Structure 1
């Protein structure tokens, strides 16, 4: 098999299991490559709740050492461990945050938007429920502008869960096609990869991130796509992959194409 999953978390951030346990589960599941990409969040504002789901800043080098040791212990001719990081994008400090990562040997960086200004789009349905529809529309609008700016920054390799605000099934009622298309165009121009994040099928939105419509437009623009499980525990390292690859094919992509990264260099291969 040549299935690959790069968006996954260990207990260094909000995962349940250790790096080694996650890697062993991925190898046992038959993945060809498995990447850890624990959360690295440096906000331009104070938010104590982030400590519950982001890596402690003084643990970064321990995390890297743990993944590199797992790579040494578990990689062989049929299985590779990759070192990644999921880095939150804030326009106020993005360049400084990524620069501070220095020359550490990451294979890829996932750029994600979890906050629109100080509003967390994926923490709880309870934060969405009191909002007016106008405010919901505004959050979506600003979200797509953040994704556009994330891509324009040129700091990352992969865009995480492209339409994440739909997680709790709160949708815009205004036409945001122009904002979506501007974000997709910026991703294309930045030569980035998007993911089909299969975790969305287990959330209230009940579909992968992104939607079929967004994937179809991404395909028309020639934006590469890869499947990731966004696993936070061992049983989920390959969750919903069949549905994700089906969605990829429905959107017009070749489901046998695989994209992979090695030291921030993108490579392609075919599914065996």
Structure 2
């Protein structure tokens, strides 16, 4: 599933390509790709343009020019956006759900193999209601301070990995980066939150932002499905220290990396480096 770094990579790419271009045609190839009536979806977008593209955790937010409506889009497991400026491309595919054609004939494809991702037109008020109910504090924003992070940890009895991947507590972190953050912090993912010392909390806080920022710099992580808007894979896979490295030696101490199930999630750690 694309996490914060992958969605931010897509946002940055698309922001340089789709803004202020008039939409000449909207095709909905799969009804499951949108959460609106097809005709309403097409009517709202046709003849309009996108004025901005933002991100809230793993959600993309497309602002529509001179409108109180926006598109919220979640990629879920296998969703992707690919921009085609007339070069040779494999898109559309049988998994393409939406095709947006701009006045200059460039196309934006929303493609999703497992069909859990979506595009949804909502009002600004509906957007604010959705975001306020579903999302916690977000790393790499002004609200992600050490003080606010400490507040999130208060009265929590769960393990640290569950907390990191709880979108209502901390928004944007998934399985890959939770494992990497725990490794860089030298904390076992199954440690209970109340057992963390003050210095460990500070280390965890700092590594959340450092790991996520580095992953953005490397344009995300690709194992199977994730690609950027040009159809290219992310480059952070080669930087991973523990995730997907079970039975391989730790880069720091040569102990073999463990993989266990933690609350149903495959979880990777070094039993020697992490305490």
Q: Considering the TM-score relative to the shorter chain, is it more than 0.5?
A: no
Pick the structure with greater CA Rg.
2
What TM-score do you get using the length of structure 2 for normalisation?
0.30
Greater relative contact order (Cα < 8 A, sep 6+): 1
Higher helix share: 1
What TM-score do you get using the length of structure 1 for normalisation?
0.30
